[in-house]
């Protein structure tokens, strides 16, 4: 075998390298499926996950559950010291007992006796006046006697009316005081209930944020609770993409806790208002088949499927120039019409065919 001289071999090698390099940069459009999707990131939440708040301020006297405990709606979670409220309740009960109608009967009885006496006196004085009037009409007696009988009758009428008003006012006041005292007992009893912080639904205690001896107030959360087994995915969608999103769309989910695995979900809810701080919308999705073990606040990344074509002409996205041109093998710049896009490839509707060869514009 005859070997080429070294200079000739080197020249041939240098000639072949550019040819191979240019050949490597050429690709042809491919007929395949393409899916357009919107990227979203978020976290795992339990269904009905919420933070528990106290409705009163005070010092925690007892923590009645442990993290991980299952609870029913109305189960006590914390007890806040309520010594002062207990004293107020006892005082309200004493006041209610004192103000009760049955304990004020004596006052009413005294006024009733006075009322009955004034009614009887009015009746007597009226009869005497009537009799004196008849005598006067017969020419018997003096005008002075008639006037005295009339004055006595009118005084008796005034006294009777005054006693009636006093009796009615006392009766109304006693009823009012008794009802007010009963209401104060109800208010104090309700306030006492506020010092037992209870679960708002069936579920699990995921986090206790306060310990015995710590102070609480209505502005600070004291625990995190939620459903024990049912989870959803909360995702943030950029305002640029929100017009493409609607409930019922399929969602492909990846979790840092399950590397290499993909889970399917369905979009179930969209917040109707944008968060001005993040310029994004909160949406929720539910797993079609959830992983075996989930925890609140796990990180999730998702692609919300907008539409899919099973067979169409595609090229890599990096072969697209200025979003609407490609470079042919002869370096001709040709305009194309694009369709669906994903993070790797783009659909070509018009401009090139499957037989065209394209140059990578970045090389």
Please state, in angstroms and rounded to a whole number, the distance separating the CA atoms of residues 307 and 141: 118
User: Would you write out the chain's pLDDT as a tens digit for each of its 363 residues?
Assistant: 444 444 444 444 444 445 444 555 788 888 898 888 899 999 999 988 999 999 888 889 899 999 999 999 999 999 888 766 666 656 666 666 665 666 667 777 888 888 899 999 999 999 999 998 998 888 888 889 889 989 999 998 999 999 899 888 888 887 887 777 777 777 766 767 788 899 999 999 999 999 999 999 999 999 999 998 899 999 999 999 999 999 999 999 999 999 889 999 999 999 999 999 999 999 999 999 989 889 999 999 999 999 888 889 998 988 998 888 999 988 889 999 998 887 788 889 998 888 888 998 887
Which residues does 101 contact at the CB level (< 8 Å), separation at least 6?
174, 175, 178
Q: Which one, of 317, 331, 342, lies nearest residue 29 by Cα? A: 317
Q: Which one, of 297, 334, 288, 244, lies nearest residue 39 by Cα? A: 244
Q: How much is the pTM?
A: 0.57
CA separation (Å) from 58 to 145, 198, 353? 78, 16, 75
CA angle 208, 210, 213 (to 5 degrees): 140
């Amino acid at each position: 075998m005859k070997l080429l001289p070294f200079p000739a071999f080197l020249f041939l090698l240098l000639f072949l390298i550019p040819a191979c390099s240019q050949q490597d940069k050429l690709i042809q459009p491919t007929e395949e499926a393409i899916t357009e999707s919107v990227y979203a990131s978020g976290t795992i939440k339990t269904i009905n996950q919420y933070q528990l708040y106290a409705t009163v301020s005070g010092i925690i006297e007892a923590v009645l559950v442990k993290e991980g405990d299952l609870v029913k709606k109305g189960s006590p979670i914390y007890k806040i010291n309520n010594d002062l409220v207990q004293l107020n309740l006892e005082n309200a009960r004493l006041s209610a007992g004192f103000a009760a109608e049955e304990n004020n009967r004596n006052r009413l009885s005294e006024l009733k006796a006075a009322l009955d006496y004034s009614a009887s006196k009015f009746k007597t004085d009226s009869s005497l006046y009537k009799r004196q009037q008849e005598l006067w009409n017969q020419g018997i007696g003096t005008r002075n006697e008639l006037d005295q009988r009339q004055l006595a009758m009118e005084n008796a009428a005034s006294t009777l009316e005054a006693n009636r008003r006093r009796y009615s006012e006392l009766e109304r006041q006693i009823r009012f005081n008794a009802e007010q005292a009963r209401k104060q007992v109800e208010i104090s009893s309700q306030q006492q209930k506020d010092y037992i912080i209870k679960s708002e639904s069936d579920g699990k205690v995921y986090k206790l944020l306060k310990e015995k001896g710590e102070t609480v107030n209505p502005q600070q959360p004291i625990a995190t609770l939620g459903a024990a087994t049912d989870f959803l995915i909360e995702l943030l969608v950029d305002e640029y993409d929100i017009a493409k999103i609607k409930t019922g769309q399929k969602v492909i989910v990846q979790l840092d806790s399950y590397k290499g695995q993909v889970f399917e979900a369905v979009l179930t809810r969209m917040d109707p208002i944008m968060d001005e701080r993040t310029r994004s919308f909160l949406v929720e999705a539910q797993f079609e088949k959830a992983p075996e073990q989930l925890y609140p606040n796990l990180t999730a990344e998702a692609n919300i499927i907008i539409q899919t074509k099973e067979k169409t002409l595609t090229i890599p996205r990096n072969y697209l120039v200025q979003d609407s041109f490609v470079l042919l093998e002869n370096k001709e710049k040709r305009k194309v019409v694009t369709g669906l896009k994903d993070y790797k490839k783009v659909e070509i509707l018009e401009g090139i065919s499957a037989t065209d060869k394209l140059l990578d514009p970045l090389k």
